[in-house]
Amino acid sequence: MRSVKSNLFMLSIIWQACPGRVALNIAMCLLQRITQLIYSIFLLSEIMLAIESGDYMRVVIFILALVAFSLVTSPLIAWYESKYRNETNVVIHKRIIEKIYAQAVRCDLSCYEDPKFYDKYTMANEEILERGINILDNVSNLFSMFLQMCICIVIIIRSEPVILPIILVCAAASMFIDTKRSKLAFEGNKKSAPYRRRMDYVKRTVFLQDYAKELRMGNIFLPLLDVFDDALRSAIKVSRGYYGKASVLRVARELFMSVGFHLAVQGMIIYQFIVNNAYPLSGVVTIINAAQQLQSRVYNFGNHVGEFIDNGLYADNIREFLSYEPRIVNDDNAAAPDRDNAGISLKNVSYKYEGASEETLKNISIDIPKGSKIALVGHNGAGKSTLIKLILRLYDVSDGEITFGRTNIKRLRLEEYRRCFTTVFQDFRIYAASLGENILLRPVVSSEDKARVLSAIESSGLSEKAGSLEGGINAQLTKEFDDDGAFMSGGEMQKTAVARVFADDAPVAILDEPSSALDPISEYEMFENMNNACGDKTVIFISHRLSSAVMADKIYMLENGRVVEEGTHRELMDKNGKYAEMFRIQAEKYMEVDE
């Protein structure tokens, strides 16, 4: 029942995407199946009938009609199969993928930390290219096969009804044996999966660029080759065991078919013809062909039902994925954020990750006035990034409240609220697009856009690199699609990401460890530039290199999810507490390097 529901769910998406194409798919499938029946049952019996009755004109007309029919249908079927069906596949694929991607962006960030949800997302993405059209083909086939079977059953009931149960039992028995064989194949597949995974791992190491340098520098590939050999041998051993059993089943099926179908059904028809003279020779041909067709249709119908169930499992997965309702949503009465009043306040904020045993953030109160430059510092794991995710409303607080321009952020329109921020995360991405597009994160269309990009390049300290690129801001980054794509060092990529902050007119900038790949001098310059260029923007930055925190209006030091110290650099140094200690240790390291 669940399979039917899930298949219907997918069919409704497909129908909405292209109702005309769905109708045509069913019609073409029906046309092919009816043509097949005409050729396999009626052509030979018409010829026999003509021989028996001497009415050769009748068979000539029949064959001419068939030729005319083929002249029309063959090109139609060929055009449909080679062109139209592929286009239909693209239309369906596009609609399903749009739905999946729209939902993926809508889902809460916490979904990505839920392995069950992530599995669903991964599975929804896998096989997406063909599954939609497969579902449509499967249903079209089931429908037209059902009609084919009805025609065969009518022919058999009218001439030799006793053979009907024999055919049905034979087909059911073959289906049963084949199901056993499929199960065996599935088990064999499952047993050899760990070995395949090992082989895939070795293949990946040879294939991916990430491993290319190290593979060339040592002999690590030799033990990996041993892993591949062992895995291959084990996989072959597993499949040998299962192939043996599968071939026994295959022999059993063939025996069953020859004894059951050929002996019982064909024997009965021939007996009726010879002994009882029950029907003419043309009748024998018609009944034997109809029986043969019915037997193979019932068998294929079973296979298609199996496919229907299989599609249902896949569709079920997509249905569940698409029906997930995010918890972080727009309030119906949500207001627009006040961009001119971009002060942020956290009042007694606590946060506990789902499934975690204790709170990651505990009772945090921070005031970030509009236009201020705030640094969040602390050791790894202190809770700095979590705090940023709460401010961006990627997660909702477990306790307390966050306000933006004095309104609780839960009462602001989510998309507009997030557009008040530009962010550079630690794991920012550089895209296979031009330098300008990478900075604006959209196409560069006007002279104003160009000026904005150039100014951002200047502020982020990227002018020298941009000047060296052929094409300047139009130069393509990465070699993903372009052999001449520009190569950028880690520091240059980071500067490109920081340039996004300068190019965006959002009132708040958030930089999560934006300087980790920069050397200390570049880091200092970047922060100085940022201070100048950000003007009246509110800036929150995270760094565990404290040299950059010196310039902040206020520093918050986090430890184990609590604010343990706060103040300006001077105040905290005078206090001589944890911040001062951390600052001194880091400064000493630089001095040692210097010496």
| CB closer to ligand ADP, 69 vs 353 | 353
CB of 360 to ligand ADP, least distance (A): 4
Q: Provide the token pair at 356.
A: 């975690």
CA-closest candidate to residue 175, choices 306, 366, 322: 306
Q: Provide the token pair at 135.
A: 């579902």
CB of 566 to ligand ADP, least distance (A): 16
Q: Provide the token pair at 280.
A: 């003419």
CB of 344 to ligand ADP, least distance (A): 17
CB of 341 to ligand ADP, least distance (A): 27
Q: Which residues contact 106 (CB under 8 A, 6 or more apart)?
A: 326
CB of 582 to ligand ADP, least distance (A): 13
| CB closer to ligand ADP, 354 vs 448 | 354
| CB closer to ligand ADP, 427 vs 484 | 427
CB of 346 to ligand ADP, least distance (A): 14
| CB contact at 8 A, 336 and 416 | yes
| CB closer to ligand ADP, 360 vs 515 | 360
CB of 508 to ligand ADP, least distance (A): 18
> Which own/partner contact pairs does 331-336 have at CB distance under 8 Å and 24+ positions apart?
331/410, 331/411, 333/411, 334/411, 334/412, 334/413, 334/414, 335/407, 335/411, 335/412, 335/413, 336/412, 336/413, 336/416
CB of 117 to ligand ADP, least distance (A): 13
CA distances 246 to 29, 182, 193, 266, Å, are 32, 9, 19, 28
CA-closest candidate to residue 239, choices 174, 179, 193, 176: 193
The rounded distance, in Å, linking the Cα atoms of 112 and 326 is: 12
| CB contact at 8 A, 530 and 494 | no
| CB closer to ligand ADP, 117 vs 353 | 353
CA-closest candidate to residue 207, choices 221, 190, 188: 221
Q: Provide the token pair at 355.
A: 């499934």
Q: Are strands 508-512 and 421-424 parallel, antiparallel or unpaired?
A: parallel
The rounded distance, in Å, linking the Cα atoms of 8 and 135 is: 10
| CB closer to ligand ADP, 1 vs 356 | 356
| CB closer to ligand ADP, 449 vs 512 | 512
CB of 519 to ligand ADP, least distance (A): 22
β-partners of residue 374 are 540, 554
DSSP secondary structure, 167-204, as one string: HHHHHHHHHHHHHHHHHHHHHHHHHHHHHHHHHHHHHH
CA distances 502 to 119, 344, 572, Å, are 38, 20, 29
Phi, psi dihedrals of residue 468, rounded to the nearest 5°:
-80, -10
| CB closer to ligand ADP, 381 vs 490 | 381
Q: Provide the token pair at 140.
A: 């079209």
| CB closer to ligand ADP, 131 vs 384 | 384
* Interface ranges with ligand ADP (CB under 6 A): 113, 353, 356, 360, 378, 380-386
| CB closer to ligand ADP, 6 vs 386 | 386
CB of 385 to ligand ADP, least distance (A): 3
CB of 379 to ligand ADP, least distance (A): 7
The rounded distance, in Å, linking the Cα atoms of 63 and 66 is: 5
Q: Provide the token pair at 36.
A: 């097949």
The rounded distance, in Å, linking the Cα atoms of 294 and 301 is: 10
| CB closer to ligand ADP, 194 vs 381 | 381
| CB closer to ligand ADP, 260 vs 378 | 378
CB of 380 to ligand ADP, least distance (A): 4
CA distances 43 to 46, 47, 68, 138, 295, Å, are 5, 6, 14, 28, 19
| CB closer to ligand ADP, 333 vs 380 | 380
How far is C-alpha 461 from the chain's CA centre?
Answer: 37
Handedness of CA 445, 451, 457, 459 (dihedral sign): negative
CB of 330 to ligand ADP, least distance (A): 23
Q: Which residues contact 300 (CB under 8 A, 6 or more apart)?
A: 145
